[in-house]
Amino acid sequence: MKNKIATLENLKILRKKNLNKKIVLAHGTFDFFHYGHLEHLEKSKDLGDLLVVSITADKYIKKGVGRPIYKQDQRLKFISSLDFVDYVVAINSTSGIEIINCLKPDIYSKGHEYKNKNNDFTRKILAEEKEVKKNKGKISYTNEMVLSSSNLINRMKFTEKGLDEEFRESFKKSNDFSYFFKKFNEIQNKNILVIGDSIIDEYVFTTALAKSPKEEIISVKEEKKNVYFGGIFATANNISNFVNNVTLLTLIGNEKGLEKKIKKRLNKNLNYYFCTNENTKTTTKTRYLDNSNKKLFQTNKLNFSLIDLKTEKKILKFLKKNIKNFDLVVANDFGHGLLTPKIIKVLESQSKKLCINVQTNSANFGFNFFDKYKKCYYLSLDEPEVRYALKDRDNNIKILVKKMLKKTKAQIIAVTYGANGTKMFSNNKIVSLPAFSKNVVDTLGAGDAFFAISSIYSMCDNNSKNIGFVGNLAGAMKIQFLGHERNIERDDLIGYMKSFLA
């Protein structure tokens, strides 16, 4: 069985040694192997003399949270145990093009559901077919029972983890993946301005030491430090993974070489306009974690005042000159002084569409509420941020949202509840959506990811349920990794959505 598990180099040699034999290639994820897979591979073997099966390596699988269910070594072992399979190999790519060019198969075998080109949303199979023909092979479609691994996995996963399978089944009956895919394509060439406070997030990983004999304090040994560019930088990176034309406007501190470091971490398609405050440092939030990645405490380097008049004039000049060119303005207000009353007034009066997230955090508690904004299209807050701003602990959220709608003239409001999902409000309708994952690695930036992706989606679809759905997918993805070590990638979210709606 071990001899069946090959490398690309092995397969190059195999091709040279078997020029007179018909080699068939079947490529896929093959996560959660089912009867449809078995039939497909059996029929693929009937097409030629040798059957090679290639599987997508773990880190290239774009099917959303918790995938793959089975790691690549397990998938390799299982498929190699099938007596009619001659060789199996893992491919470090999201498509089969690399293995096609290496093996040069006579026949490339796909399931018959892919015969309909409309099912090839990523256009990868179309590209693979071109490579097959270029290498003098042909593509063949087998006819077998069509089952969906993603659907089977979703049904089990939602049941096991206490997630709302009833919502998923109901939502997918009335919503088609192709609709969402088309909408995301529509926003790709929009022009977006992202404005807000810059934040450096530091994660210091530690090992606990013995208790201090003289004081009641925690004693730890620093092991390593990861530095992430969070705040508006994370929002801009997430958005620019979906939209080609994104401009970032923010203020940074006077740290030497900081601008160069930031630019290295920003997506290449991002345009940026940085103002520098020569008198202060960039807001930096340092979290200390134990060896299980549990957060122990946080320190902050902050400037509590609004930006200086000179910087404000620069930003106002930029906005007055350029804001009309943007289809959407996304304002992430972390309450660290960038968004002054004058800047807010320009955003409200001159934006074609304005999406706002106003955060309450430990550094601005009691001083940064949504009611400083008088007009927007879309407003996203968590429940405590709503209640703090309206000074109302007890009333039903419906009553509070009516006040919010009146104060901000927003057409759509999202209120997030973390593990308890999201409520969306528009046109006097309330829609509740559950959280899509309860496996939490780190909650940092989950609300920002929800806001960023739901904001850009709101450009092409005013259905609040759909906006909340897209945002919840992004939030569920964000909590799967630590800090800002990864952004929300378009292919990842599209793949997650496709498997969710399978």
Q: What domain count does the chain have? A: 2
pLDDT at position 418: 92
pLDDT band at 410 (very low <50, low <70, confident <90, very high): very high
Please name the helix (run of DSSP H) or strand (run of DSSP E) that holds residue 430, with its range, or none: strand 429-433
pLDDT at position 446: 94
CATH of the domain at 468: 3.40.1190.20
Please name the helix (run of DSSP H) or strand (run of DSSP E) that holds residue 235, with its range, or none: helix 232-240
Question: Which phi and psi (to 5°) does residue 466 adopt?
Answer: -65, -40
* 292 within a domain of the structure (yes/no): no
Q: Does one domain contain both 128 and 238?
A: no
Q: Does one domain contain both 331 and 439?
A: yes
pLDDT at position 432: 95
* 249 within a domain of the structure (yes/no): yes
pLDDT at position 422: 97
pLDDT over 70, % of the chain: 93
pLDDT band at 161 (very low <50, low <70, confident <90, very high): low
pLDDT at position 182: 94
Q: Does one domain contain both 114 and 238?
A: no
Q: Does one domain contain both 313 and 423?
A: yes
pLDDT at position 2: 56
State the virtual CA torsion across 55, 60, 66, 71 in degrees, nearest 10.
40
What is the domain range of residue 392? 180-197+234-281+309-500
Averaged pLDDT, 40-60: 91
Q: Does one domain contain both 186 and 143?
A: no
Nearest to residue 73, comparing CAs of 35, 102, 110, 31? 31
* 132 within a domain of the structure (yes/no): yes
Q: What is the mean pLDDT of the chain?
A: 89
pLDDT band at 164 (very low <50, low <70, confident <90, very high): low
Per the CB < 8 A criterion, the answer to whether 456 and 414 are in contact is no
Question: Which phi and psi (to 5°) does residue 262 adopt?
Answer: -65, -45
The answer to whether residue 159 scores a pLDDT higher than 50 is no
Instruction: Round to whole Å and give the CA distance between 226 and 205.
Output: 8
Q: Which residue has the higher pLDDT, 169 or 197?
A: 197
pLDDT at position 119: 63
Averaged pLDDT, 77-88: 92
Q: Does one domain contain both 251 and 345?
A: yes
pLDDT band at 279 (very low <50, low <70, confident <90, very high): confident
pLDDT band at 259 (very low <50, low <70, confident <90, very high): very high
Instruction: Round to whole Å and give the CA distance between 248 and 195.
Output: 6
Q: Does one domain contain both 266 and 333?
A: yes
pLDDT band at 148 (very low <50, low <70, confident <90, very high): low
pLDDT band at 495 (very low <50, low <70, confident <90, very high): confident
* 297 within a domain of the structure (yes/no): no
The 220-231 sheet, strands edge to edge: 220-231, 198-208, 284-289, 295-301
CATH of the domain at 141: 3.40.50.620
* 160 within a domain of the structure (yes/no): no
Q: Does one domain contain both 143 and 262?
A: no
Q: Which residue has the higher pLDDT, 104 or 123?
A: 104
Q: How many CA atoms lie within 13 A of 467 on its CB side?
A: 30
* 226 within a domain of the structure (yes/no): no
pLDDT in tens, 286-339: 999 999 999 999 999 987 778 999 999 999 999 999 999 999 999 999 999 999
pTM of the model: 0.79
Q: Does one domain contain both 19 and 72?
A: yes
Q: Does one domain contain both 351 and 266?
A: yes
* 172 within a domain of the structure (yes/no): no
Q: Does one domain contain both 21 and 123?
A: yes
pLDDT in tens, 344-401: 999 999 999 999 999 988 878 878 999 999 999 999 999 999 999 999 999 999 999 9
Averaged pLDDT, 70-88: 91
Please name the helix (run of DSSP H) or strand (run of DSSP E) that holds residue 92, with its range, or none: none
pLDDT in tens, 435-488: 988 788 999 999 999 999 999 999 999 999 999 999 999 999 999 899 999 999
Q: Does one domain contain both 141 and 238?
A: no
The DSSP code for 376 is -
CA distances from 288 to 161, 299, 300, 481 (A): 30, 8, 12, 16
* 16 within a domain of the structure (yes/no): yes
Q: Which residue has the higher pLDDT, 197 or 30?
A: 197
The answer to whether residue 21 scores a pLDDT higher than 70 is yes
Q: Which residue has the higher pLDDT, 328 or 1?
A: 328
Q: Which of 36-40, 282-286, 374-378 has the lowest mean pLDDT?
A: 36-40
pLDDT band at 64 (very low <50, low <70, confident <90, very high): low
